[in-house]
């Protein structure tokens, strides 16, 4: 019988893991406040579309934060390994991993196009948050696939800090900063937009 006791739950989070979870949930709260303020200031259909984008960002980061808190990524990766060994295709898993990555790339592209259409006339801050959240989601999902080359890359250190921390905390930080930036411009008559 295989146990996931070591994978599911908060008992295996390090101090950095807890800080990452706290940063995820702080960003969720910030994005939710931004969405709420946008809803109160909503004037036209374009505002409603931008609001939808912020709600998507909030929901996505909440899901990623819960996955990090419960160590769901490790449990999902281990489940894949167990299934591959049990079904006898563990030695050829690269083809399944590649197909999974291709599906993730297509899903991220579809999400990017959909969110881009929703926020076509949105502020630059909203675009930064959307881009950051899509890239963060893609990064987390690629980590689940556990390609050895990618694992080696993110385990490498830059200035004494592992790259996986730089990628994940950097992505969360970008979304958090964009949330504050967008909230500071709500209600102003003119704000910078990518589309004029």
Task: Read off the pLDDT of residues 73-108 as tens digits, 9 standing for 90 and up.
Answer: 777 777 777 877 777 777 776 777 778 778 877 887
Distances (CA, A) of 113 to 9, 13, 68, 108, 109: 35, 35, 26, 9, 6
In a domain, 119, yes or no: yes
Average pLDDT over residues 121-139: 87
Q: Using the predicted structure, report yes or no on whether residue 70 has a pLDDT greater than 50.
A: yes
- The answer as to whether 2 is a domain residue is no
Residue 74 lies in a domain: yes
CA 133 vs. chain centroid, Å, equals 5
Question: Which percentage of the chain shows pLDDT scores above 90?
Answer: 23
Residue 19 lies in a domain: yes
196 lies in some domain = no
Residue 111 lies in a domain: yes
Instruction: Please state whether the predicted TM-score (pTM) of the whole model is above 0.85.
Output: no
Name the token pair of 77.
């990766």
- 49 found inside a domain: yes
What total of structural domains would you count in the chain?
A: 1
Write out the residue range of the structural domain in which residue 101 sits. Answer: 10-185
């Amino acid at each position: 019988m295989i146990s996931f006791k070591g994978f599911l739950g908060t008992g295996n989070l390090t101090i950095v893991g807890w800080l990452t979870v706290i940063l995820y949930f702080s960003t969720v709260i910030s994005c939710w406040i931004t969405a709420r303020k946008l809803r109160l200031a909503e004037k036209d259909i374009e505002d409603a579309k931008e609001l939808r984008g912020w709600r998507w960002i909030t929901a996505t980061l909440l899901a990623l934060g819960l996955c990090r808190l419960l160590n769901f990524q490790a449990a999902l990766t281990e489940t894949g390994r167990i299934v591959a060994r049990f079904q006898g295709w563990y030695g050829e898993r690269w083809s399944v991993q590649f197909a999974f990555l291709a599906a993730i790339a297509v899903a991220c592209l579809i999400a990017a196009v959909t969110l881009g259409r929703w926020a076509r006339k949105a502020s630059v801050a909203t675009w930064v948050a959307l881009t950051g959240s899509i890239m963060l989601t893609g990064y987390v999902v690629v980590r689940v696939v556990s390609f050895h080359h990618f694992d080696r890359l993110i385990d490498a250190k830059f200035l004494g800090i592992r790259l996986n921390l730089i990628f994940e905390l950097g992505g969360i930080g970008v979304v958090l900063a964009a949330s504050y930036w967008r909230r500071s411009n709500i209600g102003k008559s003119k704000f910078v937009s990518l589309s004029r």
